[in-house]
Structure 1
Amino acid sequence: MIKKVLLLTILFFGITNIHAANLKAFTANTPTPPLKLTDLNGKTHDLNDYKGQIVLVQFWATYCTPCRKEMPSMNNMMKKMADVPFKILAVDMGETKEEVTQFVNEVKPEFSILMDESGKSIADWRVFAAPSNFIIDPQGKIRYTLFGGVEWDSDELIDKLKALAAK
């Protein structure tokens, strides 16, 4: 019951933030939380293994309308970022593998979908909205955040991420 209330609260905040389009500089002087989860195929992904790359860590859910709408733009973003070391790790928030697999078969994301059925990473990353996005620099530090849906393949966002990769 508590899990469902938490997820509904996250959904509410996600919908109210759908028009947030600007990355916000992350200014907190805190270390990047750990992230070590398995994907739908059982492969373990550890954020530490992605040092040297720009990583978009997104927390999302199948019932989140902005999440569903923006995944095609994330696929396009992957193509536009092909000339820089870049990965997307999309973390499902507390749903079952069956729910996520059905969603993936419909939406067809072309990036890693990680499972967090327990919801532990939500607490570790202090996620309060769906989708919640964190841009990690090549050194493994959070540089930008964005809460709510966005068109990830916009030239403005692509340029900002490519500039981060060039630093």
Structure 2
Amino acid sequence: MPAPPTTLRAEPRRLLRDAVRRFLGGVLHCAPDAVPLVSQPGEAPRVSLPDRRIFLSFSHEPGLSLAALHAGGPVGVDLMDLAQAASLEDWQALASDYLGPRALAAIRHRNPPSRPKAFALAWTSQEARLKCSGLPLEEWSEALEARLAGCECIELELPAGYAGILAYQRIS
């Protein structure tokens, strides 16, 4: 959904949560205020119903907010402003520390004009998989990569200037 072009997150968060409640109210045939949206610091937001849970994930950038809903299991979504990615002077250090050697090599092998988008997609993929797995941001390790291996990622079609990924857990 379009979001206010502000770096302050309280208003976009409120607007997105209101939109999710309105949507789910229609699906669940109840008033938006009756949608039991549970959001605790350090935990993924969710809708907790007596007979099921609906998993949620939110992401915000100035001008755009995303929500992902999944009744089948955990979900994660993340987006990045490509101008922000292009302005990162320390992208190589960030990629090395948080995305791992394969991602760093893949980004380095891109031609310079396409590196910001490649970095943004790698970063949002990592963030979405972390959210889907219920994990905080942490430095890359082989052990972390193994923990995230159960997530499938889909590149989102977003307005120009943004990159984003949706992650969900594979169900065997």
Same fold (TM over 0.5): no
Relative to its length, the structure with more helix (as a share) is 2
Higher relative contact order (CA 8 A, sep 6+): 1
> Who wins on radius of gyration, i.e. which is larger?
2
Normalising by structure 2, report the TM-score.
0.27
TM-score, normalization: structure 1? Answer: 0.27
